[in-house]
Each structure stands twice: as structure tokens, then as C-alpha cells.
Structure 1
Amino acid sequence: MKYSYKLRQVDLAHSRKTLAIDLPAEIAVVEILLLSDIDRGSKKWYFEAIDKVLSGESGYQEISGNVCCLEIRKDKTKVIDLLAVEDSDNACEIETNELRELIEVWVDAKSKFDESSNV
């Protein structure tokens, strides 16, 4: 994997906890995508779109979640934060295969965390 990441537990109010992921600044919008839009239930739609492009079945796919939109091409995917304030870094590009790998890492880690936390 090209990008380093750090998984960390965040303490919330009322003794609750959640999992977070820290990514390099140049792909910070991917962090927003993972935290807001990607979970066990949604991963299949993201993987379906990404895999269609990576396999050559489609040259381009676009998918939107609650906060982010992906413009998926074979080499790179543009991740756009749809809720970002104007004049901010609301988008980044990441290699499509790297994004798929980060989604897999996040979903696996989040699933294990939720199971161990009885969420």
C-alpha cells in the first residue's frame, strides 16, 4: 500500500467509543469519505463501481454517499467532499486501486472494532 494510515480509538460522550483513521494530508478527503460514507453495508456499492472500472467493464463510474462523491477512472479516482466550505480543499485524487485497498482496510477494521465494542 502506497499510503500510510493510522487507526485510532476516539472516546465520545457517555463512555462511548468510535474508530477513526488518519491519512496523509494529500488524501485528507479520503479520510472524510471513510468516516462518513463507508461501512459494511455500503462497501458493496463502492466496490461494484470501482471493480467495473478496474476490470475494464466501464471506463468511468460515479457514486455519491452522504458527504462525498467519487469520480472513478481506471488510473485515478477523484474524491469530492460535497459539504466542504468554499475555498477549501474539497477534493483530492488517489490511485483507484489504492482507494479500493483503503476501503477494504477501513471496513475490516471498523467491523472488528464494532464487534469487540458490541456496537
Structure 2
Amino acid sequence: MNNFSKSDLAQFTGDDIRYQSLNPRVIYTPGVRHLAENAHAFWLIDAIASYFVGPTMRRAIASDDRLSTLQFWRLEVDDDQTACLYAVADKGIKPFIVQAIDYSDFPFDSIDIWAGFDGHYWTLYLPSEH
């Protein structure tokens, strides 16, 4: 990972370039791509994108309208290399998605990825790209 650090991600402040995930309704920004490439974590994009096609997401959006336009995703990695991916509507709100991950070699103890809906696509982006 050659000296890759979280501070490298701050250089991404938003642009018009987008990349397609495995889910045709989910795209992502150059900052998220840089993260995935350097952290060897395209699996993280796939994990997040997979939730946008299932009943869990539909139920969550039906119960909290805020989730229909903006979501806050976070990956937290523990010292034992287990991890948890979760998503919330806002800080202090109970997560509507929680996924335990048995093992992760993700290089940071946590990372935030936000998801915004433009009426057609969900875009995954770093907070600095907002």
C-alpha cells in the first residue's frame, strides 16, 4: 500500500467523473476509486452497492424518508481484524444496516463513505467530495 494514508484522500474534493459499480444503479467517485485501489478494497464498494437492491434498504427508506436521498456508511476495523460495515440516516441514529465482517486487512481503523441519490443513480463519495 506504499505509504497510503487517510490524508491522501483529502485531495479529492469533487468532480464530474464517475465509475460504475456491479450494481447498475450505484456509481462512485474518483476518491472512492482511489481508496479502493490503494486499500485493495473494491469489495467495500461491492458490499455497499449490494444493499441498494434488497428489501432491507426498501424497508429502511420507507421508515425514514431521509434515507431516500442521503446515507452515511462507515467501516470500522477492530484490532483483531474483524470489522463492521454500517449505515445510518444521521449521526446518533440507530444503523439501518449492520454487517459483521469476520476478517479485513483494510489499512485504516475506519472510513466513511457517503451515498447520495440524484433521482437515477446512487453515488458513493468521500466526505471531502461533498
Fold conserved (TM > 0.5)?
no
Higher relative contact order (CA 8 A, sep 6+): 2
Q: Identify the structure with the greater helix proportion.
A: 1
TM-score when scaled to structure 2? 0.33
Q: TM-score, normalised by structure 1?
A: 0.35
